[in-house]
Amino acid sequence: MTTRVILVRHGQSTYNVEQRIQGRLDRSVLTDVGRETARQVAVALQGIAFDAVYSSPLQRAKETAEIIVAALSEKTAANTAHPAPAAQPIDLLREIDLPLWEGLRRTEVQEKYSEDYRLWKERPHQLCMMTPEGEHFPVLALHHQARQFWQDILTQHPNQTILVVAHNGINRCLISTALGISPDRYHSIQQSNCGISVLNFAGTLADPVQLESMNLTAHVGHKLPKPRPGHHGPRLLLVRHGETEWNRQQQFQGQIDIPLNDNGRIQAQQARDFLACVQIDSAVSSPLLRPKETAEIILQAHPGVTLQLDERLQEISHGLWEGKFESEIEQAFPGMLQQWKIAPETVQMPEGENLQDVWNRSIPAWQEIVASTPPNTTCLVVGHDAINKAVMCYLSGLGPEHFWNFKQGNGSVTVIDYPDGPDGLPVIEAANITIHLGGILDRTAAGAL
């Protein structure tokens, strides 16, 4: 069973433009830009059949959902396909409740509530507001609300695809509670106006969950999300190598030095074209052929950048699994492959590595790359499936047991900012962008590592 959830933040609102805190205040409405980007979301989602649509009842999200549904239904009607169902407003999708700040400009909050605002930025889970009902912890309450939404909704939609249109804060918490990310990382996930994220659930919250992609914005004219205001740290673009023949055949390659196949070179070229107008100032790659060639092809559009190689970014060593198909691994090591799929952190590859070994080399490498990337510059990092997943877990404050939570398609692009510099918390601006490879959904090979 798989439930696919496509998550969208509402379009630009009047309060967004005025830089006011919105929260649950329902005075803010969509701007003309917000309405147009909602229509662009529908174009991006064309061809996906939805079994249900849910939205926040607040008018900026509700109208975004209505515009998307109307545009999708108009497109499907022309093709005699089943129209998108009407959006159902649900209170569990309301935005974060910030009663003391709502309606104020951000600068006013910074001046009037300076200590609380600093706490909000540094330790958001600890922010407490006194209300007539008593102490109110906005982020903790929103996490609880998000978890309740999943518990109520997932059991209703086995093997279905649903669209959820809501807000910045609640969408962050929906993603966090699905993946097991703690409330202190509230600001480490970005949700742009009309950004699209995709989550795949194997069942309930107790079952495996995969973030297929997050905060896609190319459909609204921004190939990559814009850095947050006040950003002065480095940006890193994490890319997985293009397809190899062994990826396509689902054959374990690990550290066997398999080159790109023709499709993999096309994927690298598509990534090159996608990133051609994006600032890239430095580049690091695993020395294995498949990421190295991917990086070299991308850098054809940035001829002034010298590629550095770092052996610590090599793929996980699968040991005696390398060169084998799943059926061969199961025959030689009964039960071990299933263990790898459900509890990867417990598996020691025969004559190879375990995930802690991967963490012990790849995370220090990542930290050094970040530290060596100057402020306001961008570094391209090209790695492998296991390496990139390890980095994604690290950025999210998660351990190896969450290895399968993050999808990294061949030729995909993930965007990470350090707005407060290398010593500050990272912000995952976008994850597993594959729009340049053919659409919102990741259709790259599901092959072995």
Q: Which amino acid type is present at position 415?
A: V
Q: 437: Cβ–Cβ under 8 A, 6 or more apart, which residues?
A: 267, 270, 271, 409, 411, 412, 443, 444
Q: Pick the catalytic residue: 241, 302, 402, 436?
A: 241
Q: Which sign, positive or negative, has the C-alpha torsion 276, 280, 418, 407?
A: positive
Q: Do the beta carbons of residue 407 and residue 290 sit within 8 Å? A: no
Q: CA-CA distance, 341 to 330, in Å (whole number)?
A: 12
Q: Do the beta carbons of residue 249 and residue 323 sit within 8 Å? A: no
Q: Pick the catalytic residue: 315, 322, 353, 429?
A: 315
Q: CA-CA distance, 393 to 406, in Å (whole number)?
A: 8
The DSSP line for 324-390 is -BHHHHHHHSTTHHHHHHH-GGG---TTS--HHHHHHHHHHHHHHHHHHS-TT-EEEEEE-HHHHHH
Q: CA-CA distance, 146 to 185, in Å (whole number)?
A: 15
Q: CA-CA distance, 307 to 349, in Å (whole number)?
A: 31
Q: CA-CA distance, 399 to 344, in Å (whole number)?
A: 11
Q: Which two tokens mark 193?
A: 């106006």
CA angle (402, 218, 391) in 5-degree steps: 25
Closest CA to 425 of 75, 125, 5, 163: 125
Q: CA-CA distance, 224 to 277, in Å (whole number)?
A: 11
Token pair 């070229």 in the structure block, residue: 269
Q: CA-CA distance, 73 to 46, in Å (whole number)?
A: 10
Q: Which amino acid type is present at position 424?
A: G
The DSSP line for 255-316 is TS-PPB-HHHHHHHHHHHHHTTTS---EEEE-SSHHHHHHHHHHGGG-TTPPEEE-GGGSPP
**Active-site residue 241, yes or no?**
yes
**Active-site residue 315, yes or no?**
yes
Closest CA to 67 of 146, 10, 112, 134: 10
As annotated, the active-site residues are 241, 315
